[in-house]
Amino acid sequence: MCRIICITARKDGAGKTTTAINLSAAFEIAEKKTLLVDCDPIGHATTGLGVDGMQIKGSLYEGMVGKIQAAKLIIKKGPGFPDLIPGALDLYRYSTENGKNKESVLRDLLEEVKDQYDYIVIDTPQTPVILMINAFIAADLLFVTIPCEYLSIAGIGYHFDTFQMIKKGFGLNNDLDHILLTKMDTQEITCRLIAKELRERFKKKVFETAIPICSQLKNSPAYGKPVFLTDINSKGARSYLKLACEIIEKYQQR
Ligand SMILES: Nc1ncnc2c1ncn2[C@@H]1O[C@H](COP(=O)(O)OP(=O)(O)O)[C@@H](O)[C@H]1O
Ligand SMILES: [Mg+2]
């Protein structure tokens, strides 16, 4: 059964794209067939997998407006890479054009290819909001990345209230969100305190695995590869593998 995961956050720079790329690649290593969907007009997940957004035949946008079938949008780069539906700047247009039931178009599009995958991971932007809502509606699971920095937790209760409000508004299941701590620096006392506070407050919703600060994670997009293909022994690579194992185990039990 395919699980669709939306990777979201309350702000940019929270490690969403890094997580979308490397978690998808980690699932592939675990022999779970995975599709990464780049729903962000900025297209960093696309670039990070070595695909030039300006040179592709079609982006997610063409799929969402019904010009190209989902299967025809998929780029297969081979071993070590997840399959990819690329994102590009034209996704911005989706927010300005009229259409019926625009909120559930991504869900319907992914329905066409769902059977071919164990996991579909969506790299989700905050804006345009219509894209974020599409990703929320398409997803079975919502993962919120939170970097271990003070400004990440200031006002966090309000943020989750807003999430719940959006989800309730669209009649979505509220139980399946999880928090992933990113950019963890165990040498930093503030960082440790923030992680502790989030774990106490959100309990089992917080993944045991936290993603450490790791220069290899920062640099691997420059090579157009997931971190496993640039430095499999880095702590960043090991943490995303551990996260994939945690997720696989968690959802096998359900
Ligand atoms: N664990 C990490 N260690 C070091 N740098 C990271 C880590 N996670 C993300 N980064 C870097 O932080 C920046 C923002 O991360 P990104 O994944 O693009 O966030 P988002 O998609 O939420 O905007 C990027 O330069 C990325 O390489
Ligand atoms: Mg991003």
Q: Distance between CA 121 and CA 191 in Å, rounded?
A: 27
Q: Is 9 in the pocket of ligand 1 (CB under 6 A)?
A: yes
Mean pLDDT, residues 193-198: 93
Q: Distance between CA 37 and CA 24 in Å, rounded?
A: 10
Q: In this predicted model, which residue has the larger pLDDT, 249 or 160? A: 249
Kindly tell me if the per-residue pLDDT of 157 is higher than 80.
no
Q: Is 141 in the pocket of ligand 1 (CB under 6 A)?
A: no
Over the Cα atoms of the chain, what is R_g? 17
Helix residue ranges, H only, 70-140: 70-73, 91-94, 105-111, 129-138
Tokens representing 11 are 């702000």
Closest ligand 1 atom to Cα of 212:
1
pTM: 0.96
Work out the mean pLDDT of the chain and round it to a whole number: 93
pLDDT band at residue 169 under the 50/70/90 scheme: confident
For ligand 1, atom 9, name the residue with the nearest CA.
15
Helix residue ranges, H only, 140-188: 150-153, 156-169
Q: Where residue 131 sits, what CATH number does that domain have? A: 3.40.50.300
The pLDDT, as a whole number, for residue 155 is 76
Q: Is 43 in the pocket of ligand 1 (CB under 6 A)?
A: no
Distance 42 CA to ligand 2 centre (A): 7
Ligand nearest, relative to CA of residue 43: 2
DSSP 8-state symbol, 76: -
C-alpha neighbours within 13 Å on the C-beta side of residue 60: 33
Which of 195-204, 233-242, 243-252 shows the highest mean pLDDT?
233-242
Q: In this predicted model, which residue has the larger pLDDT, 169 or 87? A: 87
For ligand 1, atom 16, name the residue with the nearest CA.
15
Distance 40 CA to ligand 2 centre (A): 7
Ligand nearest, relative to CA of residue 12: 1
Distance 62 CA to ligand 2 centre (A): 20
Residue pair 80/39 in contact by the 8 Å Cβ criterion: no
Q: Is 42 in the pocket of ligand 1 (CB under 6 A)?
A: no
The pLDDT, as a whole number, for residue 89 is 94
pLDDT band at residue 252 under the 50/70/90 scheme: confident
Kindly tell me if the per-residue pLDDT of 71 is higher than 80.
yes
Q: Is 217 in the pocket of ligand 1 (CB under 6 A)?
A: yes
For residue 102, the enclosing domain spans: 3-252
Number of domains in the chain: 1
Q: Is 225 in the pocket of ligand 1 (CB under 6 A)?
A: no
Distance 99 CA to ligand 2 centre (A): 26
Q: Distance between CA 98 and CA 36 in Å, rounded?
A: 27
